[in-house]
Amino acid sequence: MSHINDRRGRRIDWPADKLIVSKTDLKGHITYANRTFMAVSDYAEPALLARPHNLIRHPDMPRGVFKLLWQTLQQGQEFFGFVKNSTANGDYYWVYANITPSFDLNGRKNGYFSVRRHAPERALAVIEPLYRRLCQREQGLDRKAATEVSYQALCDYLAEQDCSYPAWVNRLYRDALELRHAG
């Protein structure tokens, strides 16, 4: 894994052909983490299992994005999005996440399954400034107000793009991969 220096810890990069996989219960507590997740996040399995998944939430992540994530999952739909996560030692890593509800044999939702891919640089060049602006809007507000202000700013941005969040992030991801493979 390579490390890129940044003002808040170092950026961790991992091989693009590896996937970070985890499962949680309905309350977001980790029930499974693959070896790539443990290696990239710098957490041993005992430090992850039964812990809230937001253990790896990076403070640079806008609350409005998480509101959209949970709204999507509560509707029984899968979520795609770019997420900045923290490691155990204060470093960080970016992922392109796909989170989907999981169901038991009787069709009852019993948790969430997440597969995270390497986030392409070209996509992050768009995502990082947007997330920074959303976080700036949250500053000085209580948790609830920060979430609502950030969420509304995200919705306004998407309206300007004339695109839904899933379509927008999927296009960013796909276009970045196509450019990388064409180059």
Lowest mean pLDDT among 58-62, 149-153, 173-177: 173-177
Give me the number of domains the chain comprises.
1
Q: What is the pTM of this model?
A: 0.90
Q: What pLDDT digit, counting tens, does each position of 60-110 carry?
A: 999 999 999 999 999 989 999 999 999 999 999 999 999 999 999 999 999
Q: Where in the sequence is the domain holding 162, given as residue range(s)? A: 2-182
CATH classification at residue 77: 3.30.450.20
Determine whether 150 is exposed, middle or buried from the number of CB atoms within 10 Å of its CB (0-12, 13-18, 19+): buried
Separation of alpha carbons 110 and 113, rounded Å: 10
H-state helical runs in 118-164: 121-138, 143-161
Query: 181: helix, coil or strand?
Result: helix
CA 118 to chain centre: 11
